[in-house]
């Protein structure tokens, strides 16, 4: 039995997650997979219930689960909470305690949404790029850090960009392993020309490739981060898998996201290290936020959460057939001209969250 913890969270989180629950029920009914599902609170709703954005009990359930699926956290209701109690701290605690070091951000352009991209159709049609971002090291976590007052009364802010060989190796290995199932091309992005941490990054990725992946047919290239940003909007289809550090990954993944035209279509995964049973702790979530302005209106796009669930099926449960089925159902629905408000186009039919879930289930019935 596959153990799944569902954390709908705040804002539109519960609405989009309810559509995933319908697909889970469909898979079970069709005999395509059995899931033991627990539901918990995270973010603002957890603070309201427990006085903390993530309870110890829910954290323990996340550690025991085979995978965690999260909706969204945050909203103006909790903006004035102390820093340690803010909804986002619940998500950060999950990432830290589950040791989720590799963030996977696909940027896939569905044929039916080519016109939604801000780039010319010929640049993005058929785009399928995967960005692997190191998530637990680098300048966001390095020490020393802080703001200090100098003797002359001025202030200085300090952050430290630091990486070790094991931190670089493990995220690069994830990227190389994923490339084995794709087009076998990895581009490692750094600033080796001006940063010692970038030079170490390039050397360690190169060494690992030569030792373990060159003979497997994986092609490795290197690119400076500023050039990578330019190339993503100039010629994005040159990339297959991009692997990079926390800071550059944060920037490049959002840049790549907008190649697709809508955050409402983008899934993500965060993976931890392999345990002694070959299992990785993993958290899956849509890239979009909690969108409190449309919460409760049945107008949110559930497709990114459904696609995040598809990623879970593929990476945590080895159910590639089911993952591909969901992805094809989404493709078919879009081809049929149905859109939620965020991806609405002229001549298409605007539908609610629930109706989008209905038609995805109908497509699954046709495909199964």
In the chain, the domains with their CATH numbers are 1-101+266-368 (3.40.718.10), 128-258 (3.40.718.10)
Q: Which stretches of 65-214 are DSSP H helices?
A: 87-97, 121-124, 165-180, 196-208
Residue 83 binned pLDDT confidence (cut-offs 50, 70, 90): confident
pLDDT of residue 262 exceeding 80: no
Residue 143 binned pLDDT confidence (cut-offs 50, 70, 90): very high
- The neighbour count for residue 106, using CB atoms within 10 Å, is 21
Catalytic (active site) residue 177 = no
Q: What is the pLDDT of residues 84-121, one digit of tens each?
A: 899 999 998 999 999 999 999 999 999 999 988 889 99
Catalytic (active site) residue 140 = yes
Q: What is the pLDDT of residues 158-215, one digit of tens each?
A: 999 999 999 999 999 999 999 999 999 999 999 999 999 999 999 999 999 999 999 9
Reduce the DSSP state of residue 363 to 3 states and report it.
Answer: helix
Task: Please indicate whether residue 92 or residue 153 has the higher confidence score (pLDDT).
Answer: 153
| Residue pair 17/305 in contact by the 8 Å Cβ criterion | yes
Which member of 177, 254, 298, 358 is catalytic?
A: 254
Q: Tell me what pLDDT residue 125 has.
A: 95
Q: Tell me what pLDDT residue 215 has.
A: 97
Catalytic (active site) residue 250 = yes
Which member of 66, 190, 250, 342 is catalytic?
A: 250
The pTM score is 0.92
Sign of the torsion angle spanned by Cα atoms 255, 258, 263, 266: negative
Which member of 3, 38, 140, 214 is catalytic?
A: 140
pLDDT of residue 36 exceeding 90: yes
- C-alpha span between 316 and 92 (Å, rounded): 21
| Residue pair 201/236 in contact by the 8 Å Cβ criterion | no
- What is the pairing mode between strands 35-39 and 102-108? unpaired
Q: What is the pLDDT of residues 331-358, one digit of tens each?
A: 999 999 999 999 998 999 999 999 999 9
How wide is the angle at C-alpha 31 spanned by C-alphas 309 and 340, nearest 5°?
35
Which member of 191, 213, 245, 342 is catalytic?
A: 191
- In order, the DSSP letters of 267-335 are EEEEEEEE-TTS-EEEEEEESS---TTTTTTT-S--HHHHHHHHHHHHHTS--HHHHHHHHHHHHHHHH
Residue 261 binned pLDDT confidence (cut-offs 50, 70, 90): confident
- C-alpha span between 126 and 114 (Å, rounded): 9
Per the DSSP assignment, residues forming a β-bridge with 267 are 286
Which member of 226, 293, 321, 365 is catalytic?
A: 226
Look at the block and give the residue holding tokens 């469909």.
Answer: 26
Reduce the DSSP state of residue 357 to 3 states and report it.
Answer: helix
- Kindly give, in sequence order, each residue whose CB lies less than 8 Å from that of residue 175, ignoring residues fewer than 6 positions away: 102, 132, 186, 188, 241, 242, 243
Catalytic (active site) residue 245 = no
């Amino acid at each position: 039995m596959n153990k799944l913890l569902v954390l709908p969270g705040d804002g539109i989180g519960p609405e989009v997650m309810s559509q995933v629950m319908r697909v889970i029920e469909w898979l079970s009914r069709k005999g395509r997979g059995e899931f033991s599902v627990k539901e918990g609170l995270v973010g603002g709703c957890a603070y309201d219930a427990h006085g903390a954005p993530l309870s110890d009990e829910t954290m323990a359930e996340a550690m025991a689960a085979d995978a965690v699926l999260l909706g969204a956290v945050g909203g103006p209701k909790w903006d004035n909470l102390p820093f340690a109690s803010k909804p986002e701290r619940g998500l950060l605690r999950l990432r830290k305690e589950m040791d989720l070091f590799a963030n996977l951000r696909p940027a896939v352009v569905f044929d039916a949404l080519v016109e939604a991209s801000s780039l010319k159709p010929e640049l993005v049609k058929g785009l399928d790029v995967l960005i692997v971002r190191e998530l637990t090291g680098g300048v966001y976590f390095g020490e020393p850090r802080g703001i200090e007052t100098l003797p002359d009364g001025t202030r200085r802010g300090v952050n430290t960009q630091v990486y070790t060989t094991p931190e670089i190796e493990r995220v690069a290995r994830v990227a190389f392993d994923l490339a084995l199932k794709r087009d076998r091309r990895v581009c490692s992005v750094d600033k080796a020309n001006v940063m010692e941490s970038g030079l170490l990054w390039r050397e360690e990725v190169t060494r690992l490739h030569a030792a373990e992946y060159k003979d497997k047919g994986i092609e490795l290239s290197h690119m400076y981060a500023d050039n990578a940003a330019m190339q993503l909007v100039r010629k994005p289809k040159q990339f297959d898998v991009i692997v990079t550090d926390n800071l550059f990954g944060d920037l490049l993944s959002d840049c790549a996201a907008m190649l697709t035209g809508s955050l409402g279509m983008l899934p993500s995964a965060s993976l931890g290290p392999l345990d002694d049973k070959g299992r990785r702790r993993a958290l899956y979530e849509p890239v979009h936020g909690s969108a409190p302005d449309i919460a409760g209106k049945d107008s949110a796009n559930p497709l990114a959460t459904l696609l995040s669930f598809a990623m879970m099926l593929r990476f945590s449960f080895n159910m590639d057939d089911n993952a591909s089925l969901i992805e094809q159902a989404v493709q078919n629905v879009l081809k049929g001209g149905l859109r939620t408000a965020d991806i609405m186009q002229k001549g298409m039919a605007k539908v609610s969250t629930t109706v989008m879930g209905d038609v995805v289930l109908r497509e699954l019935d046709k495909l199964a």
